[in-house]
């Protein structure tokens, strides 16, 4: 397992996090290739160069806007993320960060989403750059140290606003990130906060344990006396054997008993809740008041999604009483191995509890080849064991 450790004690911005990752992984070339569709349009240029911040050597990443750089709506930003990244896990990180930016802006200002300074090509570059470098580095989990925020006041598009900016405060709160606060100038930007929040939601949280495979320092624009204006990034490699460790995390558990909802509506709701971001949803037969048969609906969600999903349960199923709580769960972090049968890939999920082919892959390949699923399962596992024995 490879764990990304981010230490934003002195602050974080999107370009600082991107530079820190590029520095830690030596992936400047990969970054330039990713952003080439933007640079060839004259929308921006990418400048990576070494600087010193309070005697610390760091990498500075500047995305300089060109004269033709457009102002991008939230939907246009989404389109470009998909265009640049396809359907990779990196795209999931960038799109989640965009969702969080939009949600925080709407929460803070109301009346729709107005990205203002964030509706730019450099925001897009920061989001896809960080997401792509996480994919290049093979990150499996994250560990985010306390975020150093400064408080005071700062002129923004809406006028003189408090620091940390309302959007930054909203993002850090929604992600449940720990902060340390001292007086000073702005140290955390909305893009930086959104990326930290997205990383915390997309990847499992892990202890910062392992051997250091890379260290990087992403520099901010200012050189501040007595303060190293850098974001420290480390990539840790698991010191153990090939299996991933278990991680303990908090989940929201939502429950309600239903005895007056049709089976069709219940089945549809389970699918809708999973599509809306639930971690899991299931129905258990139960008997309620007056010995009426019914079902117990349970929905597992990320802690920040509890309120939203409770409202969805109540509105969709017309049930006034919904229970919810936060609960700990231990989860084995898997690694994935591709096995080929009839020149078609089947993914095998591997943990210390064992190995298992992904059923959707089995069903797809079975449909394409006519091989029964049971036989295909056995062939995949035989090839997997053979490949593992040769490692």
How do 141-144 and 2-7 pair as beta strands?
Answer: parallel
Pure H helices in the chain: 14-25, 28-39, 74-85, 89-109, 121-136, 166-175, 190-202, 263-275, 306-317, 359-369, 373-389
Based on the fold, state whether residues 230 and 278 are members of the same structural domain.
no
Tell me which of 332, 349, 381 is where a domain ends: 332
Based on the fold, state whether residues 78 and 135 are members of the same structural domain.
yes
pTM of the entire predicted model: 0.63
Between 73 and 216, the more confident residue is: 216
Burial 141-160, CB ≥16 within 10 A → b, else e = bbbbeebbbbeeeeebeeee
For position 327, which CATH number holds? 3.30.70.1380
Q: What does the pLDDT read at residue 280?
A: 94
Would 311 be classed as within a structural domain? yes
Based on the fold, state whether residues 157 and 267 are members of the same structural domain.
no
Indicate the pLDDT class of residue 117, thresholds 50, 70 and 90. Answer: low
Is residue 301 scored above 60 in pLDDT? yes
Would 242 be classed as within a structural domain? no
Indicate the pLDDT class of residue 242, thresholds 50, 70 and 90. Answer: very low
Is residue 87 scored above 70 in pLDDT? no
Based on the fold, state whether residues 131 and 206 are members of the same structural domain.
yes
Q: Which residues face 45 on adjacent strands?
A: 64
CA 74 to chain centre: 18
Would 244 be classed as within a structural domain? no
Is residue 104 scored above 90 in pLDDT? no
Would 243 be classed as within a structural domain? no
Based on the fold, state whether residues 206 and 258 are members of the same structural domain.
no
| Phi and psi angles of residue 333, each rounded to the nearest 5 degrees, phi first | -85, 115
**What is d(CA 78, CA 314) in angstroms, rounded to the nearest whole number?**
30
Pick the closest to residue 337 from 356, 318, 322, 319 (CA basis).
Answer: 356
Q: What does the pLDDT read at residue 61?
A: 94
| Phi and psi angles of residue 313, each rounded to the nearest 5 degrees, phi first | -60, -45
Neighbours of 279 (CB within 10 A): 15
Between 129 and 108, the more confident residue is: 129
Based on the fold, state whether residues 373 and 325 are members of the same structural domain.
no
Q: Which residues contact 163 (CB under 8 A, 6 or more apart)?
A: 149, 150, 151, 152, 153, 154, 185, 186
- Per the structure, the complete domain to which residue 377 belongs is given by 335-389
Q: For residue range 22-72, what is the model confidence (pLDDT) as tens digits?
A: 999 888 888 888 899 999 999 999 999 999 999 899 999 999 998 888 888
Structure tokens at 8: 């934003």
Between 76 and 159, the more confident residue is: 76
């Amino acid at each position: 397992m490879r764990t990304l450790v981010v230490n934003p004690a002195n602050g974080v911005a999107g370009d600082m996090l991107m530079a820190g990752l590029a520095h830690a992984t030596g992936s400047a070339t990969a970054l330039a290739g990713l952003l080439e569709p933007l640079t060839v349009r004259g929308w921006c240029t990418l400048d990576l160069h070494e600087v010193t911040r309070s005697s610390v050597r760091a990498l500075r990443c500047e995305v300089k806007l060109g004269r033709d750089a457009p102002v991008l709506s939230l939907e246009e930003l989404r389109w470009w993320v998909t265009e640049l990244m396809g359907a990779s896990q990196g795209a999931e990180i960038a799109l989640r960060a965009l969702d969080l930016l939009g949600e925080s802006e709407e929460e803070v200002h109301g009346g729709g989403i107005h990205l203002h300074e964030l509706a730019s090509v450099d925001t897009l570059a920061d989001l896809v750059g960080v997401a792509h470098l996480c994919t290049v580095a093979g990150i499996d989990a994250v560990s985010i140290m306390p975020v150093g925020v400064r408080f005071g006041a700062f002129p923004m598009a809406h006028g003189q606003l408090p620091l940390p900016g309302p959007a930054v405060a909203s993002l850090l709160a929604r992600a449940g990130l720990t902060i340390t606060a001292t007086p000073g100038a702005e140290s955390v930007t909305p893009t930086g906060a959104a990326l930290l929040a997205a990383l915390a939601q997309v990847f499992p949280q892990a202890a910062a344990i392992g051997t250091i495979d890379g260290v990087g320092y992403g520099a901010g624009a200012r050189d501040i006396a007595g303060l190293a204006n850098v974001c420290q990034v480390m990539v840790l490699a698991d010191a153990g054997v090939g299996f991933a460790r278990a991680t303990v995390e908090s989940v929201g558990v939502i429950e309600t008993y239903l005895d007056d909802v049709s089976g069709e509506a219940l089945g549809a709701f389970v699918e809708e809740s999973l599509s809306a971001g639930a971690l899991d949803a299931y129905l258990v037969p139960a008997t309620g008041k007056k010995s009426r048969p019914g079902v117990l609906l349970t929905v597992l969600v990320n802690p920040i999604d509890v309120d939203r999903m409770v409202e969805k349960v109540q509105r969709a199923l017309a049930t006034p009483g919904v229970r919810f709580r936060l609960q700990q769960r231990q989860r084995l972090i898997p690694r994935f191995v591709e096995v080929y049968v009839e020149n078609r890939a089947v993914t095998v999920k591997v943990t210390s509890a064992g190995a298992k082919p992904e059923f959707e892959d089995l069903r797809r390949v079975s449909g394409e080849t006519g091989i029964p699923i049971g036989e295909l399962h056995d062939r995949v596992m035989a090839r997997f064991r053979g490949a593992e024995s040769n490692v």
